[in-house]
Amino acid sequence: MNFKREYNKVWKEMVKSEAWKNSLLADRTAKPEEEMDFYTSILDVGIDNRDSYNPLMEKEVAFEEKYSALVSRAYFKIIAEAEKADYRLRKEYEDWNTKKSEAENKGDKTFKRQLNLVNRRYAAHQKMLKGLKSWNILSEYRSDDLRFFKNENRNEVQQMFNTGKDDSAIVNLLIYKLADLYHFED
């Protein structure tokens, strides 16, 4: 399944939905029963010191908004790349496993080492792809893996964000971390 295509399909369905259209057409003006009466006061209006502008809070809000989008981009990108590699790795796996029954390869230690490497690489790839797809991030019933992943990598990504690293560098780091979850897990 191509996740980018599926994401675009789900997004188009959402935008075309009746609920979406109704939310855009909803009358946002106050109805007579909702109108409030205002009155004047002779009290001096001041500014509460607790509500002062905090540039750090603004930067934190900007980070939070961007972080989820970057994690989603990394997630869809690694799945798209894994699906592209899937055909090549499956073909290599099938070719090597077909060759193992040939007489000249039965006692060849070099062949067996290479076959073992091909099998392990294919198994790791399948495990990663299956694991990532199980996150189901477009579903309302998605797994908690995405939340755990985001929490685990938040500090490193926030540091990159605060030092001005561009989005592609952050997405590449997140892709690397996503792949690490499966390639180095025991």
Domain spans of the chain, in order of start:
68-186
pLDDT of residue 153: 92
Mean pLDDT of 171-179: 89
Mean pLDDT of 104-123: 89
Sign of CA dihedral 153, 156, 158, 160: negative
pLDDT of residue 132: 77
Give how far Cα 3 sits from Cα of 7, 79, 80, 97, 114, Å: 6, 7, 7, 30, 32
- Per-residue confidence at 186, pLDDT binned at 50, 70, 90? very low
- Per-residue confidence at 118, pLDDT binned at 50, 70, 90? very high
CB 128 within 8 A of CB 145: no
User: CA–CA separation, 77 vs 128, rounded Å?
Assistant: 13
For residue 115, the number of C-alpha atoms closer than 13 Å in the C-beta half-sphere is: 17
Give how far Cα 83 sits from Cα of 1, 37, 90, 97, 141, Å: 8, 61, 11, 21, 23
Tell me: pLDDT of 22 over 60. Answer: no
DSSP summary character for residue 45: P
User: CA–CA separation, 146 vs 70, rounded Å?
Assistant: 12
Tell me: pLDDT of 185 over 50. Answer: no
Sign of CA dihedral 143, 145, 151, 156: negative
Residues 6+ apart with CB under 8 A from 142: 135, 136
Closest CA to 142 of 80, 84, 86, 68: 68
Q: Per-residue pLDDT tens for 47-60?
A: 555 555 566 677 77
Say whether pTM exceeds 0.75: no
User: CA–CA separation, 70 vs 78, rounded Å?
Assistant: 12
For residue 38, the number of C-alpha atoms closer than 13 Å in the C-beta half-sphere is: 1
Mean pLDDT of 100-104: 83
Of residues 85 and 145, more confidently modeled: 85
